[in-house]
Amino acid sequence: MTLARFGRQSVFFAALAVAFGMATAATADAPAVKPSAAGAPKRVLFVGNSYLYYGDSLHNHVRRMAVAADAEHEKQYRYKSATISGSALSHHNIKGYLEPGKLGIKEPFEMVVLQGGSGAVSSGKRRASFAAKVVEFDKEIKQHGARTALYMTHAYVKPHKKADPNMIRDIEKLYVEAGNKAGALVIPVGLAFEEAYKQRPDMKLHKQFDGSHPDLIGTYLAACVVYASLYNASPVGNPYDYYGKIDKDTAAFLQKVADKTVRTFYGQPLAEAVSAK
C-alpha cells in the first residue's frame, strides 16, 4: 500500500469515526425516560423557584388541566409546590418535603418535579452542582417511592443582559444529561418556548421588564408541556383556559405548540386529546 493511499484511508476512517462519534452523542443526548400513561401521578410535588410561582403558580394550572381531563377523580389530584425565590436546587430540603404529612398530604408523593435555577448553565461549577443535586435528590425521591422529573427551564430573552439565542441548547444538554444519568423524566418546557417564539416572534411569553420570568401565557404554555409529559396525553382540546383569562386562539396555539414539542422531544405519540367542553 502506498503512503498516499494509506493517508487517504486514514482520513476516510477518521471521518467515519467522527461521524460515528456524532451519532453516538446524538443518541446519548436523547431523553432515555419517556412518558407513560401507566401509573399517571395524582400526588405531585414541584420544587423550584419563582419560575414556578409566577402566573398563579404552575402547579395550579397543571392540576386544573388534569382535573379537566379526569373530573371523576378530582379529589385524588393533590399537588404541592415548594419554591424559594432565586433558589438553586441546593437550597431545598428535599428530605423534609418528602416526609408524608409534612406538606399536608398524608400519602407519599408519586412524582417530584425539580426545577433548577435559571443560571444553572452559566458556569461549569453551577452545571456540576445542578447535575450532582439531581442525582442526590433522585435517590431520596426513589427511597420515598416516587419518581423524578426535571423541569427544563426556558432561556433568557431581551432585555435580559445575558440573553443568548444559543442558551437553550446549553439548557437542553444539561437537563437531558442530568435526567439520563438519574433515570428521570425530562420535561421540555424550554424547547416549547423556543418553538412558540419561532412561530409567533411577537408573542410575549416572558415578563417584558426582565426577559427572564414567565408571563401568564408563558406559565400556561409550561403547564401544557408538563401536563402532556406527566400524563402522556395531548393538551390539545383541553377546556381549561384559566377561567376565560386566556383567549381561545392563544390557548389553542399554546396547546398545539406543547403537543408538537413533547411529541418531537420524546419521539413518540401522545394519548388522544381531550375533547373541548
186 assigned to some structural domain: yes
Mean pLDDT of the chain: 90
Higher-pLDDT residue of 18, 121? 121
What confidence score (pLDDT) does residue 5 get? 44
23 assigned to some structural domain: no
Overall average pLDDT of the 208-230 stretch:
98
Q: Where does the pLDDT of residue 38 fall: very low under 50, low under 70, confident under 90, or very high at 90 and above? A: confident
Domain count, the chain: 1
% the chain with pLDDT above 70 = 88
Strand, coil or helix: 71: helix
Give the closest residue to 222 by CA, choosing from 247, 242, 208, 248: 242
Instruction: State CA 268 to chain mean position distance.
Output: 16
What confidence score (pLDDT) does residue 274 get? 55
Question: In degrees rounded to 5, what are phi and psi of residue 118?
Answer: -65, -25
- Is residue 50 predicted with pLDDT exceeding 80? yes
Count CA atoms closer than 13 A to 170's CA, side-chain side.
Answer: 16
% the chain with pLDDT above 90 = 86
Instruction: Point out which residues pair with 225 in neighbouring strands.
Output: none
11 assigned to some structural domain: no
What confidence score (pLDDT) does residue 271 get? 85
CATH classification at residue 251: 3.40.50.1110
145 assigned to some structural domain: yes
Q: How many Cβ atoms sit within 10 Å of the Cβ of residue 67?
A: 17
25 assigned to some structural domain: no
What confidence score (pLDDT) does residue 273 get? 63
The residue type found at 230 is L
Strand, coil or helix: 142: helix
Strand, coil or helix: 70: coil
**Per-residue model confidence as pLDDT tens digits over 173-206:** 999 999 999 999 999 999 999 999 999 999 999 9
**Per-residue model confidence as pLDDT tens digits over 220-251:** 999 999 999 999 999 999 999 999 999 999 99
56 assigned to some structural domain: yes
133 assigned to some structural domain: yes
Q: Where does the pLDDT of residue 6 fall: very low under 50, low under 70, confident under 90, or very high at 90 and above? A: very low
- Is residue 24 predicted with pLDDT exceeding 70? no
Higher-pLDDT residue of 14, 97? 97
What confidence score (pLDDT) does residue 181 get? 97
- Tell me the residue range of the domain where 165 lies: 40-266
What confidence score (pLDDT) does residue 14 get? 39
250 assigned to some structural domain: yes
Higher-pLDDT residue of 39, 24? 39
